[in-house]
């Protein structure tokens, strides 16, 4: 026993000594990266196989994670669902489809549409939507009030349709500007003005002002629309060309609700991680809440997992939304590598390489970390004004796998220059490891 104790102590001492020396090297490297001057920086680095910490720099400092928050949402999702439910339903007389929402966001989505769900609706003669009358906030806490005009700030709803956005484009044959879905064609107003404006939505209604002078044939723009229960029914009815009746959901113990599961779960998670889709992130939290607590209340899901992970995470989570749009979110870099460790434990390296953005190949880092041979960075970005973070997995030059989190808050350089600076640091880490 004494021999084993000595060996363990020697190993621990080795990692401690290595970590101290490596920290100093990293600090010296950061001082040479001009774009990181004056920024608040936190770094955590762990060996994936051993779980040993290799480097740490202000790892207990709370930072705004931006879209690194989606890593929490992803972990909560894969811990909640073996299969993802798209709707709850029961069928009357073989023709009437009664359905209610699970929070699933891919119905008629312009990019990630669940075709099986659409066909399920299409194959029934009559549809009855049992609408939960819960009122949910259309925006998360701490979201910027003036972002309503942008795709990344689509309204949150119990049952998203078309991704809660209207696609506006110029028809290549007629040169007419049109919308998808067609419902919004008469919601367009055209101006011809010599300025930089292109398109803006009225803040309080679904009305879009377009400057035709600046519209190019290749332009196709997605704009959020103001959601409502009635608009959901109208859009679904017009698309299916059949009546969609909406009734208030009432508890009835005699109803045997069945669940339709999606086989688009990988599509959903890729949209979350690779394309950093905010609406999908918020919808996943609603789905978890509905699944566990029969309520569309994101905070219930957040509080559940904050408690669930409290024994594993070193620092209490300050977590308020699913997407990371809110500036109220705060997290430490050492918490993020712990979250990544749990993700890997759940999905394995194959899951990581399939779902995460891959440097030089896919997602938000496809233009960075390019190597002639195999990719070495699999990581989630997180960007808000003056903040940029990158957390994920790194393959060192010696082929060992590592977990890392690099958080840069309050930077003064441009976002592009900071990304280049982080890339410079990661190439350095790869070379040394």
Q: What is the 3-state secondary structure (H, E, C) of 170-230?
A: ECCCCCCEEEECHHHHHHEEEECCCCCCCEEECCCCCCEEEEHHHCCCCCEEEEECCCCHH
* 405 and 351 housed in the same domain: yes
**What does the pLDDT read at residue 338?**
97
Instruction: Name every residue whose Cβ is closer than 8 Å to that of residue 412 and which is 6 or more positions away in sequence.
Output: 37, 38, 39, 386
* 145 and 52 housed in the same domain: no
Is residue 272 a part of any domain in this protein?
no
Is residue 152 a part of any domain in this protein?
yes
Is residue 278 a part of any domain in this protein?
no
Q: Which domain holds residue 53?
A: 22-79+286-432
* 153 and 222 housed in the same domain: yes
**What does the pLDDT read at residue 217?**
65
Overall average pLDDT of the 50-68 stretch:
95
In this structure, are strands 126-131 and 96-101 parallel, antiparallel, or unpaired? parallel
* 44 and 99 housed in the same domain: no
Domain termination site, one of 263, 278, 310: 263
* Contact between residue 88 and residue 100 where contact means Cβ atoms under 8 Å apart: yes
* 228 and 295 housed in the same domain: no
* 223 and 343 housed in the same domain: no
* 234 and 375 housed in the same domain: no
Is residue 273 a part of any domain in this protein?
no
* 247 and 384 housed in the same domain: no
Is residue 4 a part of any domain in this protein?
no
Is residue 9 a part of any domain in this protein?
no
Per the structure, the count of domains in the chain is 2
Task: Tell me the β-bridge partners of 199.
Answer: 210
Overall average pLDDT of the 384-399 stretch:
95
pLDDT range class, residue 78, cuts 50, 70, 90: very high
Q: Is the peptide bond before 208 cis (omega within 30 degrees of 0)?
A: no
Overall average pLDDT of the 138-143 stretch:
95
Residue-wise over 40-52: b if at least 16 C-beta within 10 A, else e? bbbbbbbbbeeee
Residue-wise over 359-383: b if at least 16 C-beta within 10 A, else e? bbebbbbeebbeeeeebbbbbbbbb
Report percent pLDDT > 70 for the chain.
Answer: 95
* Contact between residue 322 and residue 277 where contact means Cβ atoms under 8 Å apart: no
Is residue 186 a part of any domain in this protein?
yes
CATH code, domain with 47: 3.40.710.10
* Contact between residue 379 and residue 297 where contact means Cβ atoms under 8 Å apart: no
pLDDT in tens, 87-131: 999 999 989 999 999 999 999 999 999 999 999 999 999 999 999
Q: Which long-range contacts (CB under 8 A, 24 or more apart) does 168-177 make?
A: 168/199, 168/208, 168/210, 168/220, 168/221, 168/222, 168/223, 169/219, 169/220, 169/221, 170/215, 170/216, 170/217, 170/219, 170/220, 172/217, 175/217, 177/210, 177/212, 177/215
Is residue 13 a part of any domain in this protein?
no
| pLDDT > 80? residue 251 | no
* 325 and 295 housed in the same domain: yes
Domain termination site, one of 230, 263, 296: 263
User: Residue 415 gets which letter from DSSP?
Assistant: H
Instruction: Name every residue whose Cβ is closer than 8 Å to that of residue 332 and which is 6 or more positions away in sequence.
Output: 42, 44, 59, 60, 61, 62, 63, 314, 315
| pLDDT > 60? residue 221 | yes
Distance between CA 321 and CA 290 in Å, rounded?
A: 16
* 204 and 188 housed in the same domain: yes
* 346 and 259 housed in the same domain: no
* 234 and 314 housed in the same domain: no
């Amino acid at each position: 026993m004494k021999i084993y104790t000595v060996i363990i102590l020697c190993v621990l001492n080795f990692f401690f000594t290595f970590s101290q020396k490596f920290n100093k090297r990293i600090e010296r490297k950061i001082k040479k990266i001009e774009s990181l001057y004056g920024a608040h920086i936190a770094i955590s680095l762990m060996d994936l196989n051993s779980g040993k910490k290799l480097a740490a720099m202000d790892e207990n400092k709370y930072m705004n994670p931006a879209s690194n928050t989606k890593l929490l949402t992803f972990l909560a999702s894969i811990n909640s669902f073996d299969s993802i439910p798209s709707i709850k339903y029961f069928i009357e007389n073989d023709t009437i489809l009664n359905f209610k929402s699970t929070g699933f966001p891919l119905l008629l989505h312009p990019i990630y549409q669940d075709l099986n769900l659409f066909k399920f609706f299409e194959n029934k003669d009559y549809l009855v939507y049992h609408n939960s009358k819960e009122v949910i906030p259309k925006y998360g806490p701490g979201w910027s009030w003036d972002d309503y005009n942008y795709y990344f700030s689509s309204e949150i709803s119990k049952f998203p349709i078309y991704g809660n956005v209207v696609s506006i484009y110029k028809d290549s044959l007629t040169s007419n500007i049109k919308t998808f879905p067609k419902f919004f064609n008469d919601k367009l107003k055209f101006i011809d003005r010599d300025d930089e404006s292109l398109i803006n939505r009225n803040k309080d209604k679904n009305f879009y002002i377009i400057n035709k002078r600046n519209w190019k044939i290749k332009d196709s723009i997605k704009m959020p629309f103001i959601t409502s229960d009635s608009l959901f029914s109208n859009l679904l009815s017009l698309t299916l060309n059949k009546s969609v009746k909406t009734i208030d959901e009432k508890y009835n113990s005699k109803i045997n609700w069945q669940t339709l599961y999606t086989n688009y779960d990988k599509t959903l998670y890729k949209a979350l991680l690779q394309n950093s889709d905010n609406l999908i992130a918020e919808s996943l939290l609603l789905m978890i809440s509905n699944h566990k607590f029969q309520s569309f209340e994101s905070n219930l899901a957040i509080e559940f997992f904050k408690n669930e992970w409290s024994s594993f995470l070193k620092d209490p989570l300050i977590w308020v939304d699913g997407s990371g749009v809110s500036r109220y979110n705060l997290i430490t870099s050492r918490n993020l590598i712990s979250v990544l460790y749990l993700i890997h434990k759940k999905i394995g390296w194959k899951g990581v390489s399939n779902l995460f953005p891959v440097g030089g190949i896919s997602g938000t880092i496809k233009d960075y970390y390019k190597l002639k041979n195999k990719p070495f960075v699999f990581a989630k970005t997180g960007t808000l004004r003056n903040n940029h973070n990158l957390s994920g997995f790194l393959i060192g030059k010696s082929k060992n796998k590592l977990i890392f989190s690099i958080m840069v808050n309050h930077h003064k350089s441009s976002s592009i220059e900071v990304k280049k600076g982080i890339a410079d640091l990661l190439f350095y880490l790869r070379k040394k490891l």
